Amino acid sequence: MTPENAIHTGPSNLWGLANPTRFMGFANRAIPILACLTILLFGIGLYLSFNAPEDYQQGYTVLIMFIHVPAAWLAMMTYSVMSISALGSIIWRHPLADVSLRTAAPLGAIFTFLALATGSLWGKPMWGTWWEWDARMTSVLILLIIYLGLIALSKAFDEPSEAAQPLAIMTLVGFAIIPIIKFSVDWWNTLHQPASVSRLDTPAMGPEFLYPLLIMALAYMALFFTLHFMSMRNEVLARRIRAMKMKQARRG
């Protein structure tokens, strides 16, 4: 006996019987599998990373690359996931699309933050400064601001369902403008070319560096999907609880 049958309430009347239940069933089965996959990939990835030889120019600091680059890649991939969800939210008004969007945002912010933090820690031994306004780091910083703005927007509405369209629209506007931002930051950076060329570019990639990097990237991806599905599951639960509370309140 599931509470879906009892839920005819709420402003989003697409909270039909099938979709959330089917998703919950899918999530409950998928999450353990994804979690195991994540652990496995991290195990292999970390083993390969720590057994990679010293980089000719960077020494052991190349180890930071194995967690910096995947974080940066995930920061961008998360925004792509959010953009696809935003399309679903706008075009089909699919409630799960909104759930996907708002749960992905904090994860994206975390990956972006980690990209910046590890980038800074990588930069200090490389360039001598904790922060360089090079093209890549600056673009990532702007991306972080975009993420945080979207998170703030999602929390600004009293009624969560009211935030669905605003979030989706601003996500897509951001998606359209992010390439322009990247282009302009590259332009700006070449205008003010610092003396040292950015060494946060991935070094010449022999297979002894490429394989650990790719495995770590897959590990980060698996972690994202695990946490994303878990978060979506939480959000569906929260909406059920909310709907039940409203129903109880009306019973008096």
Partner 1 sequence: MFGEHAAFIIPSYLISFLALSIATLVIWRTYSVRKKELARMEAQLEKQNT
Partner 2 sequence: MVALLKREVQIAWRSGGGALTGVLFFLAVVTVFPFAVGPDTKLLSHLAPAILWIGALLASLLGLDRMFAQEREDGSLDVLVMQGHPLMAVFFVKAFAHWLMSGLPLVLATPLFGIMLNLSPLGIGATMVTLLAGTPAISFIGAAGASVAVKLPRGGMLISVLVLPLVIPVLVFGIAAITGALQDPAPFTAPFLLLCAITLFTSVLGPLAASVMLRHSAD
Please identify which residue in 47, 92, 234, 246 interacts with partner 1, judged by CB under 8 A: 234
Look at residues 152, 154, 149, 148 and name the one whose alpha carbon lies nearest to residue 167. Answer: 154
Q: Does residue 172 interact with partner 2 by CB under 8 A?
A: yes
At CA 181, angle to CA 178 and CA 187, rounded to 5? Answer: 145
| Residues in 79-118 at the binding interface with partner 2, rule: CB under 8 A | 90
Distance CA 99, CA 109 (A): 16
Residue 188: contacted member of partner 1, partner 2, none (CB under 5 to 8 Å, by partner type):
partner 2
Please identify which residue in 148, 214, 230, 244 interacts with partner 2, judged by CB under 8 A: 148
Smallest gap from Cβ 145 to partner 2, in A, equals 5
Burial of 11 (0-12, 13-18, 19+ CB in 10 A): exposed
Smallest gap from Cβ 46 to partner 2, in A, equals 34
Tell me if residue 127 falls in helix, strand or coil.
helix
Please identify which residue in 47, 50, 92, 183 interacts with partner 2, judged by CB under 8 A: 183
Q: Around Cβ 5, how many Cβ atoms within 10 Å?
A: 8
Please identify which residue in 17, 33, 117, 177 interacts with partner 2, judged by CB under 8 A: 177
Please identify which residue in 6, 14, 173, 205 interacts with partner 2, judged by CB under 8 A: 173
